Amino acid sequence: MPTALSHAAAPLALRLGLGRSVVSGRLLAAGLAASMVPDADVVGFRFGIDYADDLGHRGLTHSLAFAACVALVGALNHRALRSRFLTAFAFLLAAAVSHPLLDALTDGGLGVALFWPFSSERVFAPFSPIRVAPLSLEGLLLERGVGVAVSELRWVWLPCAALGALIALLRRKSKRDSRTSPVGQGPGSPGAPQEANMPAPVRATCDRSDDVRSLDPGPACPVGEVHGLQAVDPLP
């Protein structure tokens, strides 16, 4: 497995990309916990639970079903996390699922029971570039720990940082485009030519009807005569 510290890279990258307005500080803290909680199964070693057992390390706690349960529990408390239900669920699901996916990319140990309870088979990814971390602190402090740190920096932290930066750039670009794009191009819209909003020119005409319009008499119509309106085609 990658170290517990490196499992935090995925939720941190999502926070970087989505921003504080989407991922609150409390939701981020919950995401960090969700990304690490699958490794709570290591306590099974103290109780004699075999590594390959469903309750063993990389067993049921590393499944998609377990990740969904973790996300659901967190989403039900979305108000405490200062988030919406769907936002909290999606973020926590991504954080929790990132743990078994990263473990599947390691080059040692057993695979992950990703599809439990439908299958107890342990699986690895076709590509396994991450050096597996020792389970003991002593192992991390030895020379092997240096190789693990370099491997995680290359294959976990740098890709996650790049993904978070890319999401952030796309989010900001989308905001800029929404602010600068015209609403429409039809008559009356901000981007439409002003001539399209001007009424057609009219001229006064004289007749003998009783339909009196509220138009001041022009010089061509004697006072007391009725005035009508006739549209005049605009000049080309």
| DSSP-assigned letter for residue 112 | B
DSSP 19: -
198: exposed, middle or buried (Cβ count in 10 Å: 0-12, 13-18, 19+): exposed
Joined together, the tokens standing for residue 222 give 């004697």
pLDDT of residue 214: 45
Give the closest residue to 104 by CA, choosing from 50, 42, 156, 69.
156
Which residue's structure tokens are 């499944």? 63
Domain positions in the chain = 4-180, 202-231
Q: Which residue has 């063993």 as its token pair?
A: 56
Task: Supply the Cα-derived Rg of the chain in whole angstroms.
Answer: 34
Count of all residues that appear for the chain in the document = 236
User: What is the C-alpha to C-alpha distance for residues 17 and 23, in angstroms, rounded to an integer?
Assistant: 10
The counts of H helices and E strands in the chain are 8, 2
- Tell me the pLDDT of the chain (236 aa) as tens digits: 678 889 999 999 999 999 999 999 999 999 999 999 999 999 999 999 999 999 999 999 999 999 999 999 999 999 999 999 999 999 999 999 999 999 999 998 889 999 999 999 999 999 999 998 876 666 666 657 788 889 999 999 999 999 999 999 999 999 888 888 665 554 555 554 555 455 555 555 555 544 444 445 455 555 544 445 454 455 54
pTM of the model: 0.74
User: Residue 25's beta-bridge partner residues?
Assistant: none
Supply 192's token pair. 């439409």
